[in-house]
């Protein structure tokens, strides 16, 4: 397989991508360890930044200079104003939706191991309306990213109705995320029927498939969806699947060694790296390698939306 530097030089867009979902405001805190009920611990405030799954995925493509279209609705309020300022600085479109409330925000808490815990306060990104998407022609895209945070409940029903407008051969790059336990198998099946490529972490994938390791989980997801899948496995890298005449097989791509700062946004960054590779015609193995390098860079940085530039990405090698 080609080295990361060679793959970065091969990142020339061939497919069209649409990123759908949320731009959140992250308030990042660090603690030594998460408190138990009734405890009083000391934390350290780090910074307030715009994040959210969709924004973090878009951050990867934006840093790599790859084209994409996006819809991350902006509401009315203090958090919406921060989101608008950030989108404007990046020359990304701002779609203000009137009367739908403020954007959501999140306490992103990292402990001394780098593991993150989220406390999310959802906003208008969980109250989408089908008519908001009338400004887009979803049938022109090859890949459409969707986060599980927007896929549950009534909001998920709206998204499924909207996603029916996509081209038959387009893939939904779907990261159910930690909210998968609240989603239900019927909702997952609806996304599979539309045509989705799962990208999910190991613990979530095992829960979804009742398996006991990343390899079995990745294969089970592909059997369910009929499409390739990617399961991230922390320091053990990531597993991707490909279809052979005998059925689905799984292969592991190793991780990159970095000094871990926190894992905030690393899963989203991995999905963004995978999308970058796929939209540029890389193989699943190559796209997963790029995704591992992007996620490693974010894991070695503080907070989300810290994806690497091309020159930074070129420095990674196994």
Q: Is 198 inside a domain boundary?
A: yes
> Is residue 51 scored above 90 in pLDDT?
no
Note the pLDDT tens digit of each residue in 153-195.
999 999 999 999 999 999 999 999 988 988 889 999 999 999 9
Q: Is 122 inside a domain boundary?
A: no
Q: Is 111 inside a domain boundary?
A: no
> Is residue 215 scored above 80 in pLDDT?
yes
Note the pLDDT tens digit of each residue in 125-159.
999 999 999 999 999 999 999 999 999 999 999 99
Structure confidence at residue 92 as a pLDDT band (50, 70, 90): very high
Count CB atoms within 10 A of the CB of residue 22: 26
The Cα 156–Cα 183 span in angstroms is: 9
For the chain, give the mean pLDDT.
Answer: 94
Strand pairing class (105-110; 116-121): antiparallel
Q: Is 94 inside a domain boundary?
A: no
pLDDT for the residue 46? 87
What's the total number of domains in the chain?
A: 1
Domain of 139, in residue numbers: 4-20+53-69+128-311
Return the DSSP state at 154.
H
> Is residue 303 scored above 80 in pLDDT?
no
The Cα 137–Cα 135 span in angstroms is: 7
Record the tokens describing residue 262, joined without a space: 């926190």
Are the C-beta atoms of 130 and 103 separated by less than 8 Å? no
pLDDT for the residue 102? 96
Are the C-beta atoms of 312 and 287 separated by less than 8 Å? no
Give me the CATH number covering residue 198. 3.40.1190.20
Which residues have C-beta within 8 Å of that of residue 239, sequence separation ≥ 6?
Answer: 214, 215, 217, 218, 230, 231, 233, 250, 251, 252, 253
pLDDT for the residue 138? 97
Which residues have C-beta within 8 Å of that of residue 101, sequence separation ≥ 6?
Answer: 75, 76, 77, 123, 124, 127
pLDDT for the residue 114? 79
Return the DSSP state at 306.
-
Q: Is 229 inside a domain boundary?
A: yes
Backbone φ/ψ region at 171: left (φ over 0), alpha (ψ -120 to 50), beta = beta
Note the pLDDT tens digit of each residue in 246-286.
999 999 999 999 988 888 889 999 999 999 999 999 999 99
Instruction: Tell me the average pLDDT across 31-46.
Output: 89
Q: Is 304 inside a domain boundary?
A: yes
Are the C-beta atoms of 145 and 54 separated by less than 8 Å? yes
Return the DSSP state at 226.
S
Q: Is 81 inside a domain boundary?
A: no
Q: pTM of the entire structure?
A: 0.94
Q: Is 95 inside a domain boundary?
A: no
Return the DSSP state at 251.
E
The Cα 98–Cα 75 span in angstroms is: 6
Are the C-beta atoms of 241 and 248 separated by less than 8 Å? yes
């Amino acid at each position: 397989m080609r080295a990361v530097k060679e793959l970065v030089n091969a990142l020339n867009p061939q497919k069209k991508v649409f990123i759908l979902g949320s731009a959140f405001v992250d308030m990042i805190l660090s603690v030594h360890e998460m408190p138990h009920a009734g405890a009083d611990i000391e934390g350290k405030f780090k910074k307030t930044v715009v994040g959210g799954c969709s924004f973090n995925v878009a951050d990867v493509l934006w840093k790599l200079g790859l084209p994409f279209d996006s819809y991350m609705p902006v509401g009315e309020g203090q958090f919406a104003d921060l989101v608008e300022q950030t989108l404007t600085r990046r020359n990304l479109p701002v779609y203000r939706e009137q009367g739908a409330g403020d954007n959501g925000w999140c306490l992103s808490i990292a402990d001394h191991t780098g593991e993150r815990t989220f406390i999310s306060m959802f906003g208008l990104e969980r109250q989408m309306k089908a008519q908001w998407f009338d400004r887009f022609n979803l049938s022109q895209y090859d890949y459409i990213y969707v986060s599980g945070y927007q896929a549950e409940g009534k909001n998920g029903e709206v998204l499924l109705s909207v996603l029916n407008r996509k081209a038959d051969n387009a893939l939904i790059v779907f990261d159910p995320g930690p909210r998968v336990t609240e989603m239900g198998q019927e909702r997952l099946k609806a996304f599979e029927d539309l045509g989705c490529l799962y990208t999910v972490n190991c613990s979530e994938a095992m829960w979804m498939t009742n398996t006991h390791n990343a390899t079995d989980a990745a294969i089970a997801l592909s059997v369910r969806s009929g499409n390739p899948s990617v399961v991230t496995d922390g320091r053990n890298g990531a597993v991707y699947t490909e279809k052979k005449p005998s059925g689905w097989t799984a292969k592991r791509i190793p991780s990159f060694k970095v000094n871990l700062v926190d894992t905030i946004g690393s899963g989203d960054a991995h999905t963004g790296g995978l999308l970058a590779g796929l939209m540029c015609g890389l193989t699943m193995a190559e796209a997963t390698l790029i995704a591992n390098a992007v996620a490693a860079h974010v894991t070695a940085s503080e907070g989300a939306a810290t994806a690497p530039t091309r020159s930074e990405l070129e420095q990674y090698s196994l």
